[in-house]
Amino acid sequence: MLEVKGLRKVYEDTSRTVEAIRDVSFCVGEGELVCIVGPSGAGKTTLLKCIAGLLAPTAGGVIVEATPVVGPPPAMAVVFQEYGRSLFPWMSVHDNVMLPLKQKNMPAARREELVRDALAAVDLKGVESAYPWQLSGGMQQRVAIARAVAYEPHVLLMDEPFAAVDAQTRADLEDLIRVLWRRLRVTVLFVTHDIDESVYLGQRVMVMSQAPTVIMEDVAVDLPDERTQLETRSMARFGELRKHIYSQIQLAKQGWRPPAG
């Protein structure tokens, strides 16, 4: 489904070069929900942008649905870290969700239906005609998610989407992602720096080292598929997993990296 092979990314300016990603390889199966955690500045956004075809890798490459990525792949949607800035301030909520659909060849009625369903799925009925800046941060984030959902992507990339919302909204949005993922059978790659969030959401958690980045560990999350904030988070296994990942991140911050190969 999605394959990253020997990816390396070096930012080169006239003044300095930054090796953000050294060597990252992994596979994501169809319909999987994989979380990526790593310390700030680990190159998570860089990795996501390479997968999204927004940045050209320095070496290696990405394959999505059997096609090498050279530009943004057709069946992919990205929810950006700076969600507030990713909504068009001159368009209503409805038009923001609609715009990408206009590129798709389908009857107008079907488009309207997709917009309506997506906004209903993120619990945003009744604000269709509002401008994004008239909404709260959590609502804006849900508009960005609705836009991605309405697009009917096969792959959904999310970059720290809940970093700027309050704890309660965050818990709600996490559950929303689980619900949407299970309902739409979409492949999700979810970047976060929150260890609890990664364990709660993911089927797998990939721990990234500091830049220049390699993958420290690929942890399988063997928690039941049915997850609720209260129960799942108080399971013994949840605690073990988060402790394990926490120690990995501590190692990463101290600069430890897995032996090459």
Partner 1 sequence: MSALGPLPRRIAVALALPVTLIAAWWITSAGSENFYFPPLQTIVQTFGKLWFSPHALSDVVPSLWRFSVGYLAAAFLGIAIGIPVGASRNLRNVLEPVLEFFRAIPPPVLVPVLILFAGIGNEMKALVIMFGCIWPVLLNTVAGVRALDEVLAETVRSYRIGRFARLWHFTLPGASPLIFTGLRQALPIGIILMVVSEMFAASDGIGFALVQYQRTFALPEMWSGIILLGIIGIVLSLIFRAIETRLLGWYHGLRQSQRAG
> Which strand (E) or helix (H) includes residue 33?
strand 33-37
Q: Give the integer Cα–Cα distance in Å for 190 and 98.
A: 24
Residues pairing with 9 in the sheet:
21
Closest CB to partner 1 among 32 and 95? 95
Binding mask 16-45 for Mg ion (x = CB under 5 A): -----------------------------x
Least gap, CB of 213 to Mg ion (angstroms): 12
Buried b (16+ CB within 10 A) or exposed e, 169-208: bbbbbbebbbebbeebebbbbbbbbbbebbbbbbbbbbbb
* CA quadruple 81, 84, 89, 95: dihedral sign: positive
Using the rule CB under 6 A, is 246 a contact of ligand ATP? no
Strands (E), 167-242: 187-192, 204-208, 213-220
Closest CB to Mg ion among 187 and 213? 213
The DSSP bridge pattern shows strands 17-28 and 67-68 to be unpaired
Using the rule CB under 6 A, is 43 a contact of ligand ATP? yes
Site for partner 1 in 133-172 (CB under 8 A): 133-134, 151
Using the rule CB under 6 A, is 193 a contact of ligand ATP? yes
Site for ligand ATP in 15-34 (CB under 6 A): 18, 20
Using the rule CB under 8 A, is 190 a contact of partner 1? no
Least gap, CB of 43 to ligand ATP (angstroms): 4
Binding mask 99-138 for partner 1 (x = CB under 8 A): xx-xx---------------------------x-xx----
> Which strand (E) or helix (H) includes residue 201?
helix 195-201
Asked if residues 38 and 198 have their Cβ atoms less than 8 Å apart, the reply is: no
Number of other residues whose CB lies within 10 A of the CB of residue 211: 19
Residues pairing with 191 in the sheet:
36, 159
Q: Give the integer Cα–Cα distance in Å for 153 and 63.
A: 16
- Taking alpha carbons only, the member of 130, 143, 129, 42 closest to residue 85 is 143
**Quick one: which segment of 42-50, 107-115, 118-126, 227-235 binds ligand ATP (CB under 6 A)?**
42-50
Binding mask 47-66 for partner 1 (x = CB under 8 A): --x--xxx------------
Using the rule CB under 6 A, is 41 a contact of ligand ATP? yes
Which residues of the shown chain bind Mg ion in the complex (CB under 5 A)?
A: 45
Which residues of the shown chain bind partner 1 in the complex (CB under 8 A)?
A: 49, 52-54, 71-72, 74, 76-78, 80, 82, 85-86, 88-91, 99-100, 102-103, 131, 133-134, 151
